[in-house]
Structure 1
Amino acid sequence: MAYSVEIDRKWQKIWEETKLYKFNPDNVDKKLYCLEMFPYPSGAKLHIGHWYNYGPTDSWARMKRMQGYEVFHPMGFDAFGLPAENYAIKTGIHPYDSTMENIRTMERQLREMGVTFDWDYEIITCLPEYYKWTQWIFLKLYEAGLAYRKKAPVNWCPSCQTVLANEQVIDGRCERCGTEVTKKELTQWFFKITAYAEELLEKLDDLDWPEKTKMMQRNWIGKSEGAEIEFKIDGKDLSFRVFTTRADTLFGATYVVLAPEHELVDWITTDEYRDAVEEYKEYAKKQSEIERLSTEKEKTGVFTGAYAIHPLTGEKLPIWIADYVLVTYGTGCVMGVPGHDERDYEFATKYNLPIKRVIKGVGDVDDSLPFVEYGILVNSGEFTGMTSEEARVKIVEKLKAEGKAEFKVNYRMRDWLVSRQRYWGAPIPIIHCERCGIVPVPEEDLPVLLPYDVEFEPTGESPLKKHAGFMNVTCPKCGGPALRDPDTLDTFVDSSWYYLRYPDNKNDKEPFNKEWINKMLPVDKYVGGAEHATMHLLYSRFITKVLRDLGYLNFDEPFLSLVHQGTILGPDGSRMSKSRGNVISPDDYIKQYGSDVFRLYLMFGFSYSEGGPWSDEGIRAIARFVNRVERFIEKFIETKQNPGKTKEEMGDAEKELNYVRHYTIKHVTLDADKFEFNTAIARIMELVNALYKYENEVEVKNMKFYEDVVRDFVKILAPFAPHFSEEMWERLGYEYSVFNQKWPEWDEKALEREMVEIAIQVNGKVRSKAQVPSNATDEELKQIALSDERVKSYLDGKEIKKVIIVKNRLVNIVVN
């Protein structure tokens, strides 16, 4: 029977019945925790992005299992949050019902992928047995002073009718629906992630993560070392502080700017300027943070009529308000140094404010204003002649001695806003009592259940507020009437700790057993999208560190090694979307070719971390490759049954095949370990070519050796084409299962021969690499390049103009 979906179903049933992938806790000393970011069940089906995340990662996990690891590979669903609620609003189906229905569909589809998930460890974040412990984590942060409530200007999506964290605003728009985000003053719950800013920064260096992701987190945390300097307000017993990293430019300050929302603005504005200030405050309120910080946006502001006293010279500096200063960043006040800052120069030029030079360039540099580099101080009193580096310390030391300044480290990162005015989330376990104030729900009363009978259409207020049965409660402290907190938790709180719940998902006494979780964690390999760099990945690191400091964990980081998958584009090279009509449905291709062909194409057709455009011809080529392997196995079985004359010695043909065998084992092992699946599969294809060559060209075969090579071949193919390989293994008459076999090891001695690696290019772009004898002729190199499986797809339908050969380095095929 040729490979098909029927083969998939056959082996999935056998794997299920024999519990092939059950994790054995007794082997925890060999554990390898492999985890993909769990899906939102907000759509009805798995799309190609899910496949691209789970299929190749599963192949890596299968290889690791064959290498002797006890692989822990769980799966669950990130089931709360806006996607599910918006889907429910659109369809009129209750979020619980639609979510659970979608989960059932996705579970079936995930099983049909043939992935090695151990479903005994499944978690679903919208079920009380999970969110009870999400609420418990909230209470632990509250007890530790790391969860707090305050009034703050927040990002508000008018369409979703909810608050968004800073990280959920992309280019001034809601990441979910694309609506322009506005500002609103609301009392909200925050987690104090800023308390861990320094450690979140420091520990990044130790992680095996993509450098780009680490850089994104560094930039998001945004550490600045400088000083806070106090400015007194002329004629009033008031002052404010500015944060600066360039105290060396202080003598160049000619004005100061406050954020329009700063509490001092109302106190200091004079009657003459009050109307203009109020009008400007209303204008600033309509701007998003992104717009206000944009370097392209023209700088605007208004004078308050008040003056500040320069802390060193005693000069009076005009106080302005401008929207480029944010009350949430630094102190909400900045000093204007137009001679040495481009933004301040632009502002001062526009409003005709004085511009002073206080830094001169060193050597042959263009130091025309605004000069923003370090240099030598001029027009700076006793500090004139000092270098910027020296003066930025000396000036602060002088002011510090006078009680007017202190050295300070600032972080760009803000605290994590965790409350949402939406229905579909974990209720915040807090009670508000008129007599007692904020009262945490006692642990024994968890979970605070999310009621089913709620009108969840968004109105701008928390839907739970309108549910009297939920809201009205007895205060656990005084016994008087009280109200529950009507908000729900951001779904990122649910996913900030889910990796800790998987290994102990049925524990109803605690979120996890401390002793057990410290053996199972951290996660060894984590795979998911790069778009989570400054949200989920940062939040998970924070929660891990908090739980460590509270005594529940003994490790610092949740994910030791991180891999990001790329994006599969439509055949037209654009992002897939229904409106473009370029969406690829995995189900259609799997029905036609079987899941292993689909999986193999995802791994061979793309560089895993980059992705690229889908190609129907590409998947057809993989289907032909699988058929070719099946024909070879049938041919080998025939040869084995009727071997004719055989031999035992290792002749040249055997040595050549043995070389390719060990070369393949080595490079498949090393490449697949780094998630470089495309080159790993290219090596397997080369081994298939070598096996066919031995089968067809060698009359007297060493059958024992030949069979050993075929066995190794099926073993190394198995992780990448699991159902198909099980079928071939069975047809070869071997004992179930191929996945209980030991992963082959390469022998360096078999690789000792005069070989070099060359690059194979098409029109100057590297499309493959190949090992070739160092004494190969140009004609031999040309044939090797033209027959390379990875290169063929780039040559289809094209005319070869010429082949350029650079000995022992490259072959470049020029096509029209």
Structure 2
Amino acid sequence: KWPKGTVVFGMGLLEGNKMSSSKGNVILLADAIEEYSADVVRLFLMASAEPWQDFDWREKEVRGTQRRLEWFREFAQKVEDIKGEKLDLSNIEEVALERSIDKWMISQLNVHIKAATEALEVFQTRQALQHALFLLKKDLDHYMYRVKDLVDKKDPAVIYVLSTVLSNWIRLLAPFTPHTSEELWEKFGGEGFVSFAKWPEYDEELISEEIERSESLVQNIVKDINEIKNIVDTDPEKIHLYLAPDWKWELYKIADEVGKPDIGQIMGRAIGQNIYDNKKEIANVAKKISKEMTKTRYIGKIDEATILNDAKEFIEAEVESEVVIHTDDSYDPQNKARNAMPYKPAIFME
């Protein structure tokens, strides 16, 4: 049978220089495997360059790859420790997820499965590993930080999310680190050999831009509050968050439909639809939205009240103050509520 495709491999470099046996600057594959293991060598080579590109063997980066693989082993064990009993990856008990952060992690997992799968289909091993290892680890680190207070409580949702991530992650890395993946698959209850296990499948319905924006909302709030605290050099007892009223969301939607920062057209449609009585205020907000829409894409209204209340304890711990979330301006001593915009609540400290 004819091969499905051919690839011309790139040259090998050593610490930035062309390998040459006559100059003695070569590293033998057998020596590299003996020192670092076959999985580390495979992982480094496929992560450092696409197959047709030149790779550069750098000891410092190889050792970094070795540490990442050791971390992955430790993470697998940590999931079992969090559960408090032996993992069975072939029989993960499903849990209905309610918290936004849990849904976010599952969404990101599916994003990376999709990207890694599409990259491997065109032999882009480096691109595949960016998602199958590095970016997925970045998202997992963020998730672990967000749920750090739940880790010791054997929270069912956290255990389900971490078990699901691990099951998919081992299979994602199997082409790159076959020995480690087989070992972990067997140790933590995978069925059969991981090399014969079904490749992870992404679910488009679990990939949610709304969930992604929800988590960005939480992180941006924490960032904005701490920046304000540093600027004014204060430690407030209470931090009030004011959410944008419905008419501002409707105005943002109109701006998105217009498709460009045309204030006159946005205003005309808004007045025609009678979204708000105060035309001057509509004009002011339309100007803000016209500037913001080039940076923040409209994805529809998100339930900011539920999202922020869900993350309230986390936000309070991060900003070290009590947080009060307002859906109206019934308490607004400094008239800050009028600054609230979709995806960007207004902040008042006292």
TM-score (norm 1): 0.24
Question: CA–CA distance in 1 between the matches of 2:203 and 2:27?
Answer: 42
Q: Does 1:686 align with 2:132?
A: no
**Bigger fraction of residues in helix:** 2
List per-residue Cα deviations over 1:159-178 (Å, max 9, x = no partner): xxxxxxxxxxxxxxxxxxxx
Residue 773 of structure 1, CA deviation: 5.6
Question: CA–CA distance in 1 between the matches of 2:15 and 2:192?
Answer: 39
Contact kept in structure 1, 2:100 and 2:211, CA below 8 Å: no
Q: Does 1:564 align with 2:20?
A: no
Q: Percent same amino acid at aligned positions? A: 28
Contact kept in structure 1, 2:73 and 2:184, CA below 8 Å: yes
Letter of the 1:588 counterpart:
D
Q: Does 1:636 align with 2:79?
A: yes
Contact kept in structure 2, 1:667 and 1:680, CA below 8 Å: yes
Secondary structure in 2 aligned to 1:563?
A: coil
Q: 1:609 to 1:754 in 2, by over 3 A?
A: farther
1:735 to 188, 191, 194: 191
Q: Does 1:677 align with 2:125?
A: yes
Question: CA–CA distance in 1 between the matches of 2:181 and 2:95?
Answer: 28
The equivalences for 1:423-438 within 5 A come to none
RMSD: 3.2
Residue 691 of structure 1, CA deviation: 3.2
Q: Does 1:725 align with 2:181?
A: yes
Residue 686 of structure 1, CA deviation: 2.1
Letter of the 1:589 counterpart:
A
Q: Hey, what does 1:653 align to over in structure 2?
A: 101
List per-residue Cα deviations over 1:646-678 (Å, max 9, x = no partner): 964332121111111101100110112212111
The equivalences for 1:84-103 within 5 A come to none
List per-residue Cα deviations over 1:544-589 (Å, max 9, x = no partner): xxxxxxxxxxxxxxxxx33222111222422x11222211111222
Q: 1:584 to 1:694 in 2, by over 3 A?
A: same
Q: Does 1:523 align with 2:3?
A: yes
2:167 to 711, 722, 732: 711
Which one has more relative contact order, counting CA pairs under 8 Å at least 6 apart? 2
Secondary structure in 1 aligned to 2:126?
A: helix
Q: Does 1:584 align with 2:64?
A: no
Secondary structure in 2 aligned to 1:569?
A: strand
Residue 754 of structure 1, CA deviation: 5.4
Residue 712 of structure 1, CA deviation: 0.9
The equivalences for 1:621-632 within 5 A come to 621-632=64-75
Question: CA–CA distance in 2 between the matches of 1:594 and 1:687?
Answer: 23
Secondary structure in 1 aligned to 2:181?
A: helix
Contact kept in structure 2, 1:663 and 1:746, CA below 8 Å: yes
**Bigger fraction of residues in strand:** 1
Residue 807 of structure 1, CA deviation: 5.2
Q: How many residues align?
A: 210
Secondary structure in 2 aligned to 1:592?
A: helix
Residue 733 of structure 1, CA deviation: 2.2
Question: CA–CA distance in 2 between the matches of 1:774 and 1:752?
Answer: 14
Letter of the 2:129 counterpart:
I
Residue 642 of structure 1, CA deviation: 5.0
The equivalences for 1:331-346 within 5 A come to none
Question: CA–CA distance in 1 between the matches of 2:33 and 2:173?
Answer: 19
Secondary structure in 1 aligned to 2:55?
A: strand
Contact kept in structure 1, 2:111 and 2:207, CA below 8 Å: yes
Q: Hey, what does 2:47 align to over in structure 1?
A: 604
The equivalences for 1:776-795 within 5 A come to none
Q: 1:581 to 1:663 in 2, by over 3 A?
A: same
Contact kept in structure 2, 1:648 and 1:704, CA below 8 Å: no
Question: CA–CA distance in 2 between the matches of 1:709 and 1:680?
Answer: 17
Contact kept in structure 1, 2:191 and 2:197, CA below 8 Å: no
1:662 to 105, 110, 118: 110
Letter of the 1:707 counterpart:
S
Contact kept in structure 1, 2:45 and 2:55, CA below 8 Å: no
Structure of higher CA gyration radius: 1
Deviating above 6 A after TM superposition, structure 1's stretches of 4 or more consecutive aligned residues are none
Letter of the 2:195 counterpart:
F
Question: CA–CA distance in 1 between the matches of 2:161 and 2:218?
Answer: 27
Q: 1:755 to 1:657 in 2, by over 3 A?
A: closer
Q: 1:732 to 1:689 in 2, by over 3 A?
A: farther
Which consecutive unaligned segments of at least 5 residues does structure 1 have? 1-520, 525-560, 757-771, 781-805, 810-816
Which consecutive unaligned segments of at least 5 residues does structure 2 have? 87-93, 224-293, 298-350
